[in-house]
Homo-oligomer: A and B are copies of this chain.
Amino acid sequence: MLKINIDYNLEDTVYRQIYNQIVEQIASSNIHPGDKIPSSREMAGVLNINFHTVNKAYQLLRENGIIELSKNKRYIISKKNKTGDAVDDFKKRETDIINEAMVKGLNSDDIIKTVKNILNLKGGG
């Protein structure tokens, strides 16, 4: 079941943590396209936060095509479909963090290895 951990010590906002962790669980095949996610009120109750905060995470997931409304007013995980926007967005964000990593002393090998390591943990998990 979809388990979210909120850490108020992190710099990330609460709705961003919810967003990233739902994405993570889809990426890890913990939840799958078509699956329902908890209602914003239910999730908020479990996490002991306001349902608007959960709502904001859900709205952002919806804007990015990661979840969608089913006919019975429940959010479900969308099917994957690689859009140009998704590719462009990835490239842009990737460029920024690779730049920073290299400026901090990591080399191409470090970066490739780290990326492959992250991918292997998913593929081989």
Residues of A with Cβ closer than 8 Å to B?
20, 23-24, 26-27, 64-66, 80-83, 86-87, 90-91, 93-106, 108, 110-112, 114-119, 122-123
**Chain B nearest CB, measured from A59 CB (Å):** 15
Q: Which of B65, B90, B103, B106 is in CB contact (< 8 Å) with A114? A: B90
Contacts of A119 in B (CB 8 A): 98, 108, 111-112
**Dominant secondary structure of chain A at its interface with chain B:** helix
Contacts of A100 in B (CB 8 A): 20, 23, 27, 64, 66, 90
Contact A104 B24 (CB under 8 A): no
Contacts of A122 in B (CB 8 A): 102
